Structure 1
Amino acid sequence: MDLLYSPYDFGVQDDPYPVYARLREEAPVYRNDADDIWVLSRHADIADALRDTARFSSRNGLRIEPAFWGPQAERFFSFVAMDPPKHTRMRSLVSRAFTQRRVQALEPRLRELALGHLAPALDGESFDLMGDFAARFPTDVISELVGVPEGDRALVRDLGMAIMYRDEAATGPVTDLPPEALQAIGALVGYYTELTIARSKSRTDDLLSGLLDAAEGEDRLTPEEIVGVLILLVGAGIETTMLLLGNAWHAAWKHPDQRAAALGGRIDDWVNETLRYDPPSQTVARTATEDVELHGVTIPAGGRVLLAVGSGNRDERVFPAADRFDLDRDTSASLAFGGGRHHCLGANLGRLEARVAFQELTAVVADYEIDEAAAKRVHSTNDRGFESLPTRITARR
């Protein structure tokens, strides 16, 4: 059978791992002419490319859909779609506001938010992990972090969901954003612009105030740059955490021996192995700035390079028995949060959210069963996870 890989293919999105295995062995530098991409699938090659910002640029963004790819990528990805020195300046200023102290101080409030969503969801024998909890909790966490007033959070949640979910009832794979998502982005930009103006007149103890105050000498973030960071948080801070929660829930259910350990309290191991085994972010794009020769293949300057992180995390050269979900595994080499100067700035927040969520879930749930026939996956060129995970629970006595 011919080796065919496209990030737009719904079949690949539903289960990319068999194709990844063939890519690693048969075509570690794979060319797809129709999608105009070069794909790297081995852990070492992906890790090297993530560190090598000189030859693998982020200037055109992280996703290959026409709406995202190109000079306009900064509108969606802020400093993540920049190279030095622009990236260095922006990340440094954002880091002054997005501190570990600010993240850790959120934990008590995160627990309140988790309990607030779980109490009604678990008031019975069944619930939808995604719709009833995983889609709501991270959205409210980001709103809490940013400083969105409680009265506006339903609006922000609805706009975020319109951006993240795409209508797949139409024929064929989705290769661009639908009008509804573009309208939601515009509305969210408008909302965050107004909130930034209001906060500039009256500070509070939140990330938005921190971004307004962040400075290096006379250099400060402009209001437009701040709004760009807030838009980035919709995908980087909400969608990935939402999908991580679902992927962890599903992976543990599929592996009963590991589920027992996870529900027994090994939360950090559960989260870390999920990030390795089935990461929410499967691919990240780069632009080759010069001809790059790898495994006897030349990627030309200007080539669009897709780094298949999900494949790298299943590379047997780094993770023995990589297709096994194993909470005892050393996951320190995982590529789930990227690498190099673009290592995810929100990694600590994402881990904290997942830890709090599963601590509160396992305090109530002794075991569970997923109705896989009714489960529904999201379809995306770079993200992997579920839109719906109907679950029947056995409550702790």
Structure 2
Amino acid sequence: MQMRTSTSVRTGGQSPVEALPVAYDPFSYQVQEDPYPVYAWMRENAPVYRNEERDFYALSRHSDVLAAMRDATTFSNRNGISLESTMSGAQAYQNVWFLALDPPDHTTMRRLVQRKFAPRTVAQRETRIRELVRRRLEPLRDQDGFDFARDLANPVSTDGVCDMLGIPEADWDTVRLDSDLLNTRKHDSDERTPENLAAAFRLGTYYKQLVADIRRHPGDNLISSLTRSEVEGRPVTDSEIVAFIFLIVSGGNESTSKQVGIAWYHGWRLPDVQRAGLGGRFADWAAESLRFDPSSQMTSRTVTRDVVLYDTCVPAGSRMVLLHPSGNRDHRVFDDPDRFDLNRDTRKMLSFGAGPHHCLGGALATLEIPTVLEEVARYVAGYDLDMAAARRVHSAHQRGFTHLPCSVVWRKGVRN
């Protein structure tokens, strides 16, 4: 990271945002509803933001977020990637496995599964993804509308991940619903509720039994592969596999599935995008939604040494939040960044991270999101949303919808 000592942070030729819309607190429902005005203020007025109450700093500019993601020595994952006390510190490794490690340990552990998520390997799953989408769509085709998030987008991505892992199909919906419940937080709270803890216990108990069952009866799936794997001369433990299952199921359920719903929402908000998207621009629709409004909203690091950024001394041991969605709206990198543009070059977006901790499932999401949109477009010619009945996710880390009721215009010849 470039250590700057500029006396002014109002750069780039744009007028600064004069007043902070609301304090940046990722646990605030108000921020979760629309964080982008807050990010805009931070980028222009406080590129190193300090939240005294929750005791963290935050980076919001594209160049700073990117540099921090690449510098795992200074911005470490050793205490986990969450601000929640129950998910950080010594217990982080138990919760997110190799995400709570830095190179070289992180590299060693990640290598166990990395090939399964490589673009060439993921591409082989396209036919299966299409099959899973069509299975979710089939019972909806005799209706004038359905809940796009609940009935399609959210289940489909979890289906795909569970299928890869070797989770029995009869359990997919239960796993998804408990995963949703696990990650929901009350307004302004970073504490887990009894409902969160109960969901975590159910999932943990189920995953432990699943791993034991697969060890006895392995198959052609990712969990079976891990039960046969070794790291530094020892077998991968059941606890490590369970942590990996939590990580991957959450990634599919929270990120990819919610991103499909976000793309659908912006297609409703912008009729030209809907027409072009349903008309065949699935990859552009998916990519720009990932830049403009990514489902993953923040990640956290621990600063390992004193650093000075924009005249602000950030002491060693501090928690640093990296706001990649804010970087995606930085005018220093993207022209007219607050406009949803299907013609945009999105290659510099930060939605999948960067550096050694870049998103393991990035290639899968890049395939899955436009594939889901394409399969839906085979049947749907147009749609409208009932935003009065829509419900957003309430999570510090994730953005998206739990409910997104829509009415649809079916293409001729596809109604049951």
Task: Please give the range of the TM-score, normalised by the shorter of the 2 chains.
Answer: over 0.9
Q: 1:25 maps to what in 2?
A: 44
User: Deviations 1:22-51 (Å, cap 9, x if unpaired)?
Assistant: 111111001110111101000000000000
> 1:70 and 2:85 equivalent?
no
Q: CA deviation at 1:100?
A: 4.5
> 1:363 and 2:378 equivalent?
yes
| Counterparts of residues 203-352 of structure 1 (less than 5 Å) | 203-215=218-230, 218-352=233-367
Change (3 A) 1:251 1:31: same
Kept in 1, the 8 Å contact 2:259–2:289? The answer is: yes
> 1:190 and 2:205 equivalent?
yes
Q: Distance in 2 between matches of 1:228 and 1:257?
A: 42
TM-score, normalised to structure 2's length? 0.90
Q: 1:145 maps to what in 2?
A: 164
Equivalent AA in structure 2 for residue 370 of structure 1: L
Q: Distance in 2 between matches of 1:69 and 1:34?
A: 17
1:157 to 157, 176, 179: 176
Q: Distance in 2 between matches of 1:123 and 1:138?
A: 23
What is the alpha-carbon root mean square deviation over aligned residues?
A: 1.7
Q: Distance in 2 between matches of 1:201 and 1:309?
A: 42
Moved more, 293-302 or 207-216: 207-216
Change (3 A) 1:216 1:289: closer
> 1:37 and 2:56 equivalent?
yes
Q: CA deviation at 1:76?
A: 2.3
Q: Distance in 1 between matches of 2:367 and 2:385?
A: 25
List runs of 5+ in structure 2 lacking aligned partners: 1-17
2:368 to 353, 373, 376: 353
User: Deviations 1:139-187 (Å, cap 9, x if unpaired)?
Assistant: 2111111111223333323322321334x4xxx4232221222222222
Q: CA deviation at 1:96?
A: 4.4
Q: CA deviation at 1:303?
A: 0.8
Moved more, 65-74 or 338-347: 65-74
Q: Distance in 1 between matches of 2:183 and 2:363?
A: 22
Q: Distance in 2 between matches of 1:50 and 1:281?
A: 15
Q: CA deviation at 1:382?
A: 1.8
Kept in 2, the 8 Å contact 1:114–1:357? The answer is: yes
1:199 to 187, 190, 214: 214
Secondary structure of the 1:393 match is: strand
Percent identical: 44
Equivalent AA in structure 1 for residue 365 of structure 2: G
List runs of 5+ in structure 1 lacking aligned partners: none
Kept in 2, the 8 Å contact 1:39–1:305? The answer is: yes
1:83 to 77, 96, 102: 102
Q: Distance in 2 between matches of 1:98 and 1:223?
A: 21
Equivalent AA in structure 2 for residue 381 of structure 1: A
User: Deviations 1:344-382 (Å, cap 9, x if unpaired)?
Assistant: 111111122212211111111111111112211111112
Q: CA deviation at 1:316?
A: 0.4
Q: Distance in 1 between matches of 2:95 and 2:231?
A: 24
Q: Distance in 2 between matches of 1:384 and 1:258?
A: 20
Change (3 A) 1:100 1:223: farther
Kept in 2, the 8 Å contact 1:106–1:145? The answer is: no
1:386 to 385, 401, 409: 401
Kept in 2, the 8 Å contact 1:96–1:210? The answer is: no
Secondary structure of the 1:374 match is: coil
Equivalent AA in structure 2 for residue 380 of structure 1: S
Q: 1:93 maps to what in 2?
A: 112
Q: 1:124 maps to what in 2?
A: 143
Q: CA deviation at 1:125?
A: 1.5
Q: Distance in 1 between matches of 2:353 and 2:87?
A: 19
TM-score, normalised to structure 1's length? 0.94
User: Deviations 1:10-32 (Å, cap 9, x if unpaired)?
Assistant: 21111111111111111100111
